[in-house]
Amino acid sequence: MADNTRGALEGTQRALNAHDVPPGPHADVEHPIPVTVRLEFERGGEEWVDGEALEWTRELVRVDTGDVRLWPAVVWVGVGDVRRR
């Protein structure tokens, strides 16, 4: 599993491939799905990180990464950036 504890030393950063929150009502699914998500960090480039899919549309998935480097740690990304574990 990836080391998701480096944020305190490196500072938080954004995911460049994160999308804005889509319009409409939002709610977490009852049973989040374990996934691996591709993130493009501001510093450090591309990395695949484990997380949980909390919600999705046809084009986007909201993933809780739990990664302390990322702000916010829950991001909306394109469906092509997410794989089930």
DSSP structure class, residue 79: G
pLDDT per residue as tens digits for the range 32-60: 999 999 999 999 899 999 999 999 999 99
For the segment 78-82, the average pLDDT, to the nearest whole number, is 98
For the segment 1-17, the average pLDDT, to the nearest whole number, is 69
Q: How far is CA 20 from CA 7, 10, 17, 78, in A?
A: 22, 24, 10, 11
Q: How confident is the model at residue 2 (pLDDT cuts 50, 70, 90)?
A: low
Is the pLDDT confidence value at 1 over 60? no
d(CA 52, CA 85): 9
Whole-prediction pTM value? 0.84
Residue type, 16: L
